[in-house]
Amino acid sequence: MTAMNVVHMRVKPGMVDEYIRTHQAMAMTTMPGGRNLWLVRAGERDFIVVGEWDSLDAMAKARPAMIANLDKLRPILEDLGGGRGVTEPWSGDVALHLKG
């Protein structure tokens, strides 16, 4: 079953271009089971990363690669406050997918 993960991040001032470039350099081939990745700009410095996976198991197996990518981003991310750290992640199985 298809799984998705959604992660909110806020970039430090002046670092948006570097943040986008860092994502462009990430290879989905380092994350077996990864189908697609979207980077959604949700504000001036707020972004949502959306990943599509073959399954929750595939996503879990890719966690070390995802953490390695996050480690590259940490220096340019702001703490989101409220004890969330620099990311606010959510994930789960797709319950509904509508195509246009």
pLDDT for 28: 79
Give the CATH number of the domain where residue 47 resides: 3.30.70.100
Euclidean distance between CA atoms 99 and 85, whole angstroms: 34
Q: What is the chain's pLDDT, residue by residue, as a tens digit (100 residues)?
A: 899 999 999 999 999 999 999 999 887 788 889 999 999 999 999 999 999 999 999 999 999 999 999 999 999 999 999 999 999 999 999 999 999 9
Q: What is the C-alpha separation between 25 and 37, in angstroms, rounded?
A: 12
Q: Is residue 56 part of a domain?
A: yes
**Domain of 50, in residue numbers:** 1-64
Domains: count for the chain: 1
CB distance 6 to 92 below 8 Å: no
With respect to residue 76, please indicate whether it lies within any of the assigned structural domains. Answer: no
* C-alpha distances in Å from residue 79, one per residue of 9, 11, 20, 25: 9, 9, 18, 23
Q: Which distant-in-sequence residues (6+ apart) come within 8 Å of 18 by Cβ? A: 76
What pTM does this model have? 0.91
